[in-house]
Amino acid sequence: MKQHILVVEDNQPSRELLCDWLETKGFAAVPAENLGQAFAVTRNQPLHAVLLDVQLGPEDGLSFAAWLRREPNLKNIPIIAVTAHALVTDHERVIHAGCNAWVPKPIDFELLRERLQQWLTVASIFSKHSP
């Protein structure tokens, strides 16, 4: 069974690039171009992880991360922020909002692969030990 990865990215070429890359790595990519689509997808389909753009036009992607962390059935889904904001204070803000990790833009796909595998493994172990 393929793991479903939600890609929340407002920039179409970036969203398509991430989705295509995920598909070549054996994942099922689930695209969302805004928070409305991200909320709808999350409510209608099981997800294994989220790649989340921090700045979605006028929307703050981190509000989606904070919402996921408040939802009992969704709070353990790994969230990896993908952002052009790469300062230490940006990193702290991303982690404080509920993201597990972050990858700066332009995307280093080897780093993204490492972070995704790391957090999918952690989530898998955690779900096996949860009641």
The enclosing domain of 38 has a CATH number of: 3.40.50.2300
Q: How far from 60 is each of 8, 26, 94, CA to CA, in Å? A: 11, 29, 11
Give the range among 9-18, 49-58, 119-128 with minimum mean pLDDT: 119-128
53, 83 in Cβ contact below 8 A? yes
Q: Could you give the number of structural domains in the chain? A: 1
| Mean per-residue pLDDT, 66-89 | 88
Domain that holds residue 39: 4-128
Q: How many residues does the chain have?
A: 131
Stated pTM of the model? 0.92
Q: Say if residue 129's pLDDT is above 80.
A: no
